[in-house]
Every structure is written in structure tokens, then in C-alpha cells.
Structure 1
């Protein structure tokens, strides 16, 4: 029985939990959950699921990888690659080639027009790669561009009827991508994940907007500046 070690560990924790409370008390699952969270925080130990992609060598390096923040970051990288793979398949046979092509066009779909700079910023891209995406969309007739009358050095862009027509079709396939990305999560787990991801996005988007992390030095010093 593969779950026996977990059950054994859980029984030991329940016994420890009971010893901390008066036997006459009616103990609840909520209290036990708090006990577990406090125990993990106090001992700073997280029981992790081994990553099949990691080998048996460099144990100290693996310990670093399994530290909570590093582990979460690594899983984010994995998830982004899974998502990009699904998106690429959903875009197969269309004039859109990358996830950035799709999100760029989707942003324009909800605006009358935008400056190229704002569009690149909203799409969370560097200027060079963002400019390439816009150029590709223009060449495919999905986006149009003209001189910005308020900024003589800038350009404004908007989605074309052809772009809107394509996007309406792609939206249907993207619904399947969303379902694939959320995988085997229950509805309640999806709500929890959405809340946590939104909280993280609010935090990182503010840093992105303010250009707070522009260099390696910014990245390394950020916790001390917070």
C-alpha cells in the first residue's frame, strides 16, 4: 500500500496534536489544519514529491531545488512550457504562431487602438521581441499601423476585421487550452489557484509597470528594499 507511510505519519501527527490539547476538548479539522501549518512553518520542513526529472547526484543542489520558493518557481517554469505547447497546437493552421501573437491580438481586440509601446508593455514583452510580434501581425494583415499624432516618434496600432475574424475562431480552441492547463483540479481547487495566481499577478505586474526589476542588481536587492 503506497499510502501507508503517509497514513503512519499522519497518525503520529494526530497523536502529537492530541497531546497538545485537553482530552476533554472537542478537536476539529480546522484546529488540526492550523496545527499542521504551524508545525511546517516552525520546523521549516516541507514534504515534497520527488521530481522524476532530477537524478540521484548532487544532493545538496537538489536540496536547493526543493526549497519552497525554488520549488514553486521551478513548477511555474514547467507549467509555462506545458501551456505554450498546448497553445502552439491550438494555433496550428492559423496565421498566429506563438502565444505572444495570440495575447497581443487579444489585447488589441478589446481596444479601439493603442500605442505600440503600451501594447508591448501590456503583453509583458521586451521591446525587441514585442516589435517582432507586431510586425508579424501587420504582415499577415491582422493588425494595422499608423503614425501617432500625439507622439511624432510613435506609432499606433489596431486590430483589423481580418484579425477579429481569426480571433473569434481561435477563441474556441483556446477554451480547450484552458481546460488542459487546469488539468485534474477540482472546481474548488481552481478557485483557490485563481485567487493565488491573481494575487501574484497583481504583485508582479506592479513591479513590471514601475520597471522595478531592470537589472540583476535590482533582482538581488529587492527583498531588502521591500
Structure 2
């Protein structure tokens, strides 16, 4: 019977409620129990929202890669990462290899492989840092600029498609929220990337950690 199953669930919730109730506060009331149920529902909804945000961010990244790959067909740029590295250098005189890796949120080994391919294709060049001769700096070549200009129109279409059906007001709100998230994670990537996840969680405000 459905009613019997519901009754068992209520009894189990009552047992959990009693375990969370301070015996020194006297007998709990019905209002206390209702408040307990509401708090449980809020925690569950918060966790579901957190998971959905993580999923949506992951999905958007995949959609973006799908669209950009379509634009790069026939280009000297073989991957999305090669494109983002070249774009990063487009308005810069030069960057150190560490700087360009950090801006693209890519680990040193993977970043060096991307730059190796771009150097081989002569889309970027490299030279010694004048202040620190041990360090190499990379810069975009004229060939690299020309290649980017070829794909810019298609990439604008890709970006337009990715933002989809958002209204101007929704885009502004999304930008504010995504900028806030990116700034938070950029600090972790640059300064604390080697720390364990349990230590990184502590960087969140306490209100964001209470339902983990």
C-alpha cells in the first residue's frame, strides 16, 4: 500500500529529526518538525543546483569545441587550444610561456606541446627574455595573424551560436556570474593548483560549504 510506504518514510524522518533535536530544549513541536523537513528540502535542492551548474558548464565547453572545430576545418590551426593560444598573443607584444599557459588554464606539459606545434607551423615565434635570459617568450608572427584573420568571421558565428537565445539582459547577467566564477578559479589555478580538493573547498565562503 502506498499509504503504508509513506508512513514508514515519515517515521524514518521523525527518527532523524529526534537525533538532531537538543534534548535540553524540551519536547519538539510539529512546527519544529515542519522546519526540519523544509531545511532538508532546501539542502537537497541546493545540491541538485550545484550539480546542474557543473554539468552545464561542462556541456557548454563541449558545445563550444564542437562549433570551433567546424570553423577550423582546412585551417593551419589543428585544435581549439592552438586557436586560443594564438588569440591570446594577438594583442600582445610577447608573453612568457608560463603566462600564456596560465591565461589558457593549461598545464605546462600540454601547453608546451601546443606551442611546439605552433612554432613548427611558423604561426608563433620565440625569443629570449631580455631581463631573464633563461626564460623564453613567444609572440605571434605575421603568418599567425593572417591565419587568425581568416577564421575570425567563422569564429564570430560560433560565439554567436554558443550564446544562443539569450537576451541582451541575460547575456549581461551571465557575464557577471561567469566572470565571478572564472576569477575565483583562476586564482586557484595560478597559486594553489597542487593543493588537495579538501583544502581548496575551504577557500569557499562558509555558506557555500554548509551543504557539501
Displacement of 1:106 after TM fit?
A: 0.8
Displacement of 1:130 after TM fit?
A: 0.4
List alignment gaps of at least 5 residues for structure 2: 1-37, 205-212
Displacement of 1:98 after TM fit?
A: 1.6
List alignment gaps of at least 5 residues for structure 1: 1-39, 48-65
User: How is 1:1-226 mapped onto 2 (pairs within 5 angstroms)?
Assistant: 43-44=41-42, 46=45, 67-210=48-191, 212-215=192-195, 217=196, 219-226=197-204
Displacement of 1:213 after TM fit?
A: 3.1
The higher relative CO (CA closer than 8 Å, separation ≥ 6) is in: 2
TM-score by length of 2: 0.71
- The CA RMSD measured in Å over matched residues stands at 2.1
Say which structure is richer in helix: 2
Hey, what's the Cα distance between the residues in 2 that align with 1:147 and 1:161? Answer: 19
Displacement of 1:141 after TM fit?
A: 1.0
Hey, what's the Cα distance between the residues in 1 that align with 2:167 and 2:40? Answer: 30
In structure 2, the CA distance between the partners of 1:41 and 1:97, relative to structure 1 (3 Å rule), is farther
How many positions carry a matched residue from both structures?
166
TM-score by length of 1: 0.67
Displacement of 1:42 after TM fit?
A: 8.5
Hey, what's the Cα distance between the residues in 2 that align with 1:41 and 1:178? Answer: 40
Displacement of 1:198 after TM fit?
A: 0.9
